[in-house]
Each structure stands twice: as structure tokens, then as C-alpha cells.
Chain A
Amino acid sequence: MSTARVALPLPATRSALVPLARIEAKRFVRHPLFLTGFVLALLASGGEYGPVELDHQVVPAFFVGIFGLVVAARLSASTHRFESVVDAAPVSETTRTAALCAACVVPAAAGLVVAVVYQLALGFHDPRPDYVYGVFTTGERYVILLVLPVVACLGASLLGVAVGRWLRFPGAALLVAVALILWSALAGYLPSQGMDASTWPARILHMLTPYTAWVETNGDGSNWVPTVVRSLTGSPPWFAVWTLALCALAACAALLHGADGRVRQAVLRASWVAGAVAVASMTLAVATGYSVVHDSTSEGTIVVDSTTPLAPLP
């Protein structure tokens, strides 16, 4: 008996990934919900109306990020109905999920566009006084203004892919979005709830969230130059690393669905690495960041008790 060894071509994983990612990116860009969010974010970034500069990250995070989460979940779940047909294609589910994850570059780019447009729009107005930036250094401002919004948009969309892969009940994406908003609102604005922000539990909770606030002001949304800016605790650069690690964990969670054999092992290993980075960066964000709350006014910056309410606008 003789045996013949035939060299079968390996599954064209890598070669299929790029065209698939391109297709998914086009689907993302053309989705009406994504376009609506993007346009609303741009409209909310064009003038003086709205949150103060260091709080502007909420605009792309909500309009592009949260809407992107729902869009990504819908795009991921859209193949469920045709699963039997799609599964017959010579592309694994992991590759299709990886393509969806790669398409999340679209909302990240949209978030960057919104942040840059906002900075350009600010250039047309009078320069803001230095105290509106609180205690944050120039580098930290760039992280808050340009890096964190992009990471928030990317991470929310990656979470959307994971939601679309794992949760198959109607309304799952919206429920996760609401949970995300709730978590971020409660942890990000701890001083608003009367919690002393300089205690260890408060400092940890303030960082242990996918989105956090860095300043509180006495502005009312219609006046972009408040008289008091309260800088909250934590380290913006390490928080950026933490949120990037969360992005990686979300991507791993999405890729884990349908993965088997060596791919599954690789994804699990990547999850452990991302988890370790997340724990380390979280620890550093709490330990090396600002540990007390500061109030900045035109007269200077002082350490304050965060439970003291902000002085109202004159």
C-alpha cells in the first residue's frame, strides 16, 4: 500500500483578512447610525457651546463611541441569520471577527477627526486662560484631548464586536451601552456624588472605568470659560494605557468566539498579556497620578476637599 501526500494549501487567513477588513470598514462607514453620530459629534465640536475643553472627550466618546458600539454589534450580528451559508465559506469565524475588529479603525479615525476639528475650531476664538487646564501638564492635555477620545471610540466599537458575537438577544448592544454609560458616569464623577475623591477607594474607582472625567467646572454648558476648574485624581497617560489594554481584552473576547485549537490558545495567551498590562497600568494610573483634587481659578491653584461644592458662576 502506498501513500501519497498532497500538500493542501493552508486556509488563506492572512490574505483574506485585508479584503474582508476593507469590506467591513466600508459597511461601518456607510451605516446610517454611525454617520448620524459622527455628524452630531462634529456639530457639537464646532463652537463655544458645550463642555469645557478638557471635558470635550465626552463628545466623541458618546456620539462616535456609543453609536459605534451599537453599529459594530449590528454588523457582527448581521451574519447570524445566514450562519449556515457563511460557515460554508473558506474563511474561519476568527478571521471574520478579526476583520470586524480591524474595521473598528473607522470609528477611531472618526474620533480623531472630531478631536482635531474641535482643536481647529478653538483656534478661531480667543485663547483660554491657563487655569482652565487645571493642574495638567502639556503632555497630559494632549493625552486627554487627542488620545483618550480616539481610544474610547476604538474600545467601544471593539466591545460592540464582542457583544455582537456573544450576546444574541435583541437590545443587547443598547443594554451594554447603557451599562457602559452608567459605569463611566458613576466612576468618572465621584466628587459629584459627595465622595471624597482623594481616598484610595475613590482614586481606584475613578480609574477603574473605561471612560473617566478629568475636570469638573462651574460652567453651565453655554459658557466655555468657567471661573473654577476642579482637576480630578489619576494619571492621564497610564489611564490611556489601561484603556488600550481594555481594547485588547475586548478584541480577544470577540476573537474567542468560534476559535479553536491553536488559534484559541493564541487568543487566550494574548488575553493574559492584555490582562497583565491592564492590571499594571491601572496600578500605575492610581499610584503615580494626582492623588488630591485641585481647584484652579484666575488667582491660582489650591488643594481642596472634593466634597466642597464648586462656587457658582458669578
Chain B
Amino acid sequence: MSVVVGRSVLRAAPWPVVLGGCVAATALFGIAAAVRHGALAFPLSLLGLGLCGATAAFVLDEASAEVEDATPTGRRARVAWRLLVVLLPLAVGAAAVLVLDGLDGTAGWRRLVPVAAGSVATGLGFAAGLRRTGRFAPGDLASAPAFGSIVVVVAVEPLRALVSLAPLRTPTYPRATGLAWLLVLVTSAVVLGACERDPGRRAVRRENA
């Protein structure tokens, strides 16, 4: 997997959407920082984190995937290069909550870093799943459930009896929270690995057998 191939894969990434999403998320975090002592700071930063996840859902968009699948660069190799782009929304989300933590150390904003990682992983997972159904540019569709699920699950906390997903203002960071987000990351990684197989691989194996 040469750097030349990687460069061309990265060049083909949907940069305008990714950058636009990161700018919008940064704007939300900016407003959250401005009202950081008010009741809206957490919902706004949650929207920002959701937007980071929604932005990550666009990273796998390949309008010409049918053509690219026929090239020697396999799907997994292309996705591996594309994962570098995912670091951008992840960095925006993580950096923003760390900056918020620096501005207001009492709330424990840094505990939202796993939420940023989980949000980005969720976006990728939804996009990979939809790509398997034949949508080569699933970002537009995958971004909505990624955004909605993160915002709703963290804000409503349907599993609050078992685990709190965004434990701000608690004395310690619960281990169950870390495990829950780790589970999200692992699940997304498994979905990504399973759904991004080369479409022709199985048929070739049968032929050889």
C-alpha cells in the first residue's frame, strides 16, 4: 500500500463536507464555551459531539466506489487511508471538550472525550453498514442516525440505572462508563471490518476451491 495510493485516496475524500462539519461543530463548542456556566452548555457541547459523529459518517463516501473496487487498491486499504480523515472530527471534539475543561474545571468536561470517540465511531459504523447495502456515498443518510443516536442516548440516558454515559460533576469517573464507550468502539470496529470486505473476494475463493 504505497503512499502515492494513500495520497490519491485522501485527495478523493469528501473534504468540503468534513471541513464544513468540523467548522459547524467548532461553532457549537464556541457557543457552549460562551455560556459554559449556564444550563445550555452541556446540550450545546453534546450537539457539537453529535455533529462530529455525523461528520465522520461522510468520510467513507466514495461516489465512484464501483470503479475503485475494480482497481488493485482494495476496499479495506482505501478505508484504512480514509480513517486518517476521521482523526479530524475526533480531534475537534476531543480538543473542544479539553478546552472547555480548561475554562471551567469544576464540571469535568474532559470526561466527554470518550463521548467524542464513541460519536465518531458510531458515525463510521452506520456509514460502513449502509455501504454494505450498496450505497457508495452513505454519509448523508448515515449522519442523521449517528447524530440522533448520540444526542438522544447521552441526553436521555435510557440505561441510567446501569451506566451514566456522560458523568459530569461526579467525584470519580465510573468504570462502567469507560467500558460502555469501549464497547461502542469495539462494535463499530467490528462492523467496519465486516462491512468493508472487498465485494469480489468471496466469489474468487469459491472459484479457487
Interface residues, chain A, CB within 8 Å of chain B?
A: 33, 36-37, 40, 44, 50, 62-63, 66-67, 70, 74, 169-171, 173-175, 177-178, 181-182, 185-186, 189, 192-194, 221-222
B14 at interface (Cβ–Cβ under 8 A)? yes
B140 proximity list for chain A (CB < 8 A): 74, 170-171, 173-174
Contact B51 A178 (CB under 8 A): yes
Whether A67 contacts B40 in the complex (CB less than 8 A), given A170-B137, A171-B20, A171-B21, comes out as: no
A177 proximity list for chain B (CB < 8 A): 144, 147
Contact A175 B144 (CB under 8 A): no
Contact residues, B142-176 vs A (CB, 8 A): 143-145, 147-148, 152, 156, 160
Whether A33 contacts B141 in the complex (CB less than 8 A), given A170-B14, A174-B54, comes out as: yes
B54 proximity list for chain A (CB < 8 A): 171, 174
Contact residues, B31-74 vs A (CB, 8 A): 31, 35, 38-40, 43-44, 47, 51, 54-55, 58, 61
B200 at interface (Cβ–Cβ under 8 A)? no
A173 proximity list for chain B (CB < 8 A): 140, 144
Q: Which label, helix, strand, loop or mixed, suits the secondary structure of the B interface?
A: helix
Closest to B63 in A: A170
Closest to B156 in A: A44
Contact B28 A174 (CB under 8 A): no
Contact B145 A33 (CB under 8 A): yes
Whether A182 contacts B28 in the complex (CB less than 8 A), given A170-B14, A171-B21, comes out as: yes
Bound-state CA distance A70–B17 (Å) is 16
B156 CB, min distance to chain A CBs, angstroms: 7
Contact B40 A192 (CB under 8 A): yes
B134 at interface (Cβ–Cβ under 8 A)? no
Contact A185 B143 (CB under 8 A): no
Q: List 6 A-B contacts (CB under 8 A).
A: A40-B152, A67-B148, A171-B20, A171-B58, A185-B44, A189-B39
A37 proximity list for chain B (CB < 8 A): 148
Bound-state CA distance A67–B149 (Å) is 11
A222 CB, min distance to chain B CBs, angstroms: 8
B61 proximity list for chain A (CB < 8 A): 170
Whether A171 contacts B152 in the complex (CB less than 8 A), given A185-B44, A193-B38, comes out as: no
Whether A174 contacts B39 in the complex (CB less than 8 A), given A44-B156, A74-B140, comes out as: no
Whether A170 contacts B148 in the complex (CB less than 8 A), given A175-B20, A192-B38, comes out as: no
B44 proximity list for chain A (CB < 8 A): 182, 185
The 3 closest A-B pairs by CB, nearest first: A192-B39, A70-B144, A193-B38
Bound-state CA distance A33–B146 (Å) is 11
Interface residues, chain B, CB within 8 Å of chain A?
A: 14, 16-17, 20-21, 24, 28, 31, 35, 38-40, 43-44, 47, 51, 54-55, 58, 61, 137, 139-141, 143-145, 147-148, 152, 156, 160
Contact B47 A178 (CB under 8 A): yes
Contact B17 A171 (CB under 8 A): yes
A33 proximity list for chain B (CB < 8 A): 141, 144-145
Contact A174 B143 (CB under 8 A): yes
A311 CB, min distance to chain B CBs, angstroms: 15
Whether A174 contacts B144 in the complex (CB less than 8 A), given A182-B28, A182-B31, comes out as: yes
A37 CB, min distance to chain B CBs, angstroms: 8
Apart from the given pairs A169-B20, A182-B31, 14 other A-B contacts in the complex at a CB distance below 8 Å: A33-B145, A44-B156, A50-B156, A74-B140, A174-B140, A175-B20, A178-B28, A178-B51, A182-B28, A182-B47, A185-B44, A192-B40, A193-B38, A222-B160
A36 proximity list for chain B (CB < 8 A): 145, 148
Closest to A175 in B: B24
Contact B39 A170 (CB under 8 A): no
Contact A185 B43 (CB under 8 A): yes
Bound-state CA distance A33–B21 (Å) is 21
A192 proximity list for chain B (CB < 8 A): 38-40
Bound-state CA distance A66–B152 (Å) is 12
B150 CB, min distance to chain A CBs, angstroms: 12
Closest to B161 in A: A222
Whether A169 contacts B17 in the complex (CB less than 8 A), given A185-B43, A185-B44, comes out as: yes
Bound-state CA distance A283–B64 (Å) is 52
Contact B40 A185 (CB under 8 A): yes
Bound-state CA distance A192–B41 (Å) is 10
Which interface residue of A63, A66, A175, A186 has the most chain B CB atoms within 10 A?
A175
